[in-house]
Amino acid sequence: MPQKKIVFIYPAGDVKIFGGNDEEFTQQEKTISPPLGILYLAAELIDAGYAVDCCDYNAEKYTDEHLSALIADADLVGISLLSFSRKNAFGIIRKINAMRPGLAVIVGGPDCILHPRPIPGTVLTVACEAEKVIVEIVEAVLAGKSPEQLPGVIFTDASGAVKTGKPYYYVDDLDTIKFPRRDLLRDNKGYSILGKRSRDITTIITSRGCPKKCTFCAHAALAYQKYRSRSAENVVEEIRLIAEQGYRILGIVDDNFTADKVRAKKILSGIIGLGARLTMAVQGRADAADAELFSLMKKAGVVLITFGLESGNQEVLDFYNKGASVETIGNAVRLADRAGLYTAGMFIFGAPMETVEHFRRTYEFAASLPLDVTSFWILDYTYGSILWQRAREQGKVTDEDFNTPAGKERGTSIYPTKFIEEFGRKSFFKFYRRPSYWLRQAVKFCKVHNLYFLWVLWLGLVWLVQRRIGLWLEPVRRLMTNKNSRKKTADAVAVDAEA
C-alpha cells in the first residue's frame, strides 16, 4: 500500500503589523520566524509512517499553481488557523475545495482553541493541542470514520448540526512531546530575527502559557489556564540538536521565558556548557529582572530581550493587572542594558481611562529608557481575554468580534480608533528620530561590539531616511499628479471640441 501523504499549510498573515494602520509600510508580508505547531504535528505523523510536507506561505510566495502542485498527491490537508491569518486561511480552503473536490481538509491552531467552531469547507476542527491526538485524528478521517469518538474536535454532521467529539485533556508533561521536524521548512529563506534573513533561523518554545493574568492577553486561554514548562535538560538537548543542525539564530518564543527564573538560569547555564555559538532572542517580564539572569543571557548568546511594558502610567498598568510598577519596569530595562543586552519594549495605547496626557507620559517614559527597539500598539480586545469577556458582558463586543481594537465607536476608549492608531504611529517615528537615540546606539556598539545588531540598526536608519525623503518629495509628487491630471482633462476637452 502506498504511503499516505499529509500536507500542512501555514497561511500568510493578512493583517497590518502596526495597530491596523493603513499605510503601506505597515503591511505584514513576511514572518520573522518559522512556525512550530505544524512541525510538531509532522514529527508525530512521520514517526507513525506517514509522508508529510509543510508549507509556510509567509516565507513562500503563494500562487494558485504552487498550491495546486502542493496538494496534487495529498491524502489530507491540515490548515493552521491564527487570528491574523483568517482571511487567507479561508481563501486557501476554498481554493483546495475547488482544485480537488473531496480532498479531506482539517483545520486547527490557536484561533480554533480560542473559538472552537466548524469551518466551512473542512471535515472537522481540531480545537486542542494536537500533538498527542493528531495520528488518531488523521487515521479516522482517512478511514471515513465519524469524528464523534475523536478527542478535542468539533464538526458538522450530515444534518447540519454542530457536534463535538470526546473531551480533550491537555498534555501536562511537555517533555513527552517529540521535537519538531525543522528540516521540513529548512529550505525557506524568508525568515528574519533582528532584521537579517537567513535559512539558519529557527525557534524553540520551552513552556506553554504564562502564570500571570494580564487582562488583555488571551494566551492563558490558549494554554488551558495552566502554565506548563519543559525541564531544563529537555530544552538543552533540543538546543544541542539545533546547533548540530547548523542553525545559528534562535528565537525562544515562550510567552514568558523568565516565568521560572530558576529553570531559566538552568537552561542558560546548559547552553553555555554546550559551547554552542547561537545568536538568540527571548521574551521576559520586567518583574523578573535579575542581574545574574541577564548576565547568563549575555554569556549564553542572547542578543535581545523583549519586554511587554505596556504603559508609563501606574493606573493603566494596574488596569492591565501587570503586577509591576513603573519603577520596576525602568529598573528591568536598565539592568538588561547594563548587562550588554539589546532591549525591546512594547507599549499599548487605548485603555478606557487613558487620555492624551496618559499617551504622552507613556511616550516620555519610553524615551527616557535605554530601549533599543520599541513599538506603540493600540489595545486589542482579543477573544478569550479578560478584557474581551468584560466588554462582552457590557454589550460592547459580540461572540463574532474576535479581535477588536479599542475605540470610542464601541465605548472602549475616550478616542476613536483612528486617533489612537495615529498617536501610536507618530510616537513610533518620534522615538527613532531623536539624535540622542542614535548617539546612544553608537556608544552602546562601542561597548557591546555586536555586529549583528549594528546591521539591524543600519537597516532601520536607511528605512527612516528613505521614508523622510519620501515625505519631503510628497508635495512634489502631488503637484506633478495634479498637473498631469489637469493636462489630461484639458486634452480631453480639446478632443471633444474637435469632435
> What value does the mean pLDDT take over residues 114-133?
94
The reply to whether 237 and 143 lie within a common domain is: no
Instruction: Confirm if 379 and 418 have CB atoms less than 8 A apart.
Output: no
More confident: 189 or 364: 364
Q: Quick one: which of 345, 233, 227, 222 has its CA closest to 284?
A: 345
Could you tell me the sign of the dihedral formed by the alpha carbons of 293, 249, 303, 206, in that order? negative
pLDDT of the residue at 326: 97
The reply to whether 361 and 431 lie within a common domain is: yes
The reply to whether 286 and 377 lie within a common domain is: yes
Residue recorded with cell 549583528: 452
The reply to whether 367 and 439 lie within a common domain is: yes
Domain containing residue 313: CATH number: 3.80.30.20
pLDDT of the residue at 258: 94
Q: Quick one: which of 54, 62, 64 has its CA closest to 14?
A: 62
The reply to whether 315 and 362 lie within a common domain is: yes
At 380, give phi and psi (nearest 5°): -115, 130
Quote the cell numbers at residue 288. 523578573
Side chain identity at residue 480, one-letter code: M
Residue 349 clears pLDDT 90, i.e. is over it: yes
Going by the DSSP 8-state scheme, the letter that residue 158 receives in this structure is T
Please indicate, yes or no, if residue 31 is contained in any of the structural domains.
yes
Please indicate, yes or no, if residue 476 is contained in any of the structural domains.
no
The reply to whether 156 and 196 lie within a common domain is: no
The reply to whether 100 and 210 lie within a common domain is: no
Please indicate, yes or no, if residue 483 is contained in any of the structural domains.
no
The reply to whether 302 and 434 lie within a common domain is: yes
* Number of Cβ within a 10 Å radius of residue 490: 10
Instruction: Confirm if 295 and 337 have CB atoms less than 8 A apart.
Output: no
95-107 pLDDT, tens digit per residue, is: 999 999 999 999 9
Quote the cell numbers at residue 68. 495546486
> What value does the mean pLDDT take over residues 472-490?
53
Degrees to nearest 5, angle at CA 98 with 112 and 163: 35
Calpha distance 486→336 (Å, rounded): 58
Please indicate, yes or no, if residue 491 is contained in any of the structural domains.
no
Calpha distance 157→240 (Å, rounded): 46
Degrees to nearest 5, angle at CA 466 with 461 and 468: 95
Report the share of the chain in percent with pLDDT over 70. Answer: 83
Chain mean pLDDT for the chain: 87
* Number of Cβ within a 10 Å radius of residue 315: 12
What is the pLDDT confidence band of residue 17, given thresholds at 50, 70 and 90?
very low
The reply to whether 197 and 271 lie within a common domain is: yes
Domain containing residue 122: CATH number: 3.40.50.2300
DSSP per-residue codes, 183-205: GGGTT----EETTEE-TTEEEE-
Please indicate, yes or no, if residue 470 is contained in any of the structural domains.
no
The reply to whether 78 and 201 lie within a common domain is: no
At 424, give phi and psi (nearest 5°): -65, -40
Please indicate, yes or no, if residue 404 is contained in any of the structural domains.
yes
* Number of Cβ within a 10 Å radius of residue 382: 20
- Please count the structural domains in the chain: 2
Quote the cell numbers at residue 314. 501606574
* Number of Cβ within a 10 Å radius of residue 170: 16
The reply to whether 85 and 227 lie within a common domain is: no
Residue 452 clears pLDDT 60, i.e. is over it: yes
Full domain range(s) for residue 273: 191-450
The domain boundary, picked from 145, 164, 183, lies at: 164
Residue 248 clears pLDDT 80, i.e. is over it: yes
395-417 pLDDT, tens digit per residue, is: 999 888 878 999 999 999 999 99
249-303 pLDDT, tens digit per residue, is: 899 999 899 999 999 999 999 999 999 889 999 999 999 999 999 999 999 999 9
The reply to whether 277 and 159 lie within a common domain is: no
Please indicate, yes or no, if residue 169 is contained in any of the structural domains.
no
Residue 191 clears pLDDT 90, i.e. is over it: no
> What value does the mean pLDDT take over residues 294-313?
96
Please indicate, yes or no, if residue 389 is contained in any of the structural domains.
yes
| 3-state secondary structure (DSSP) of residue 477 | helix
Length, in residues, of the chain: 499
The domain boundary, picked from 423, 450, 477, lies at: 450
419-442 pLDDT, tens digit per residue, is: 999 999 999 999 999 999 999 998
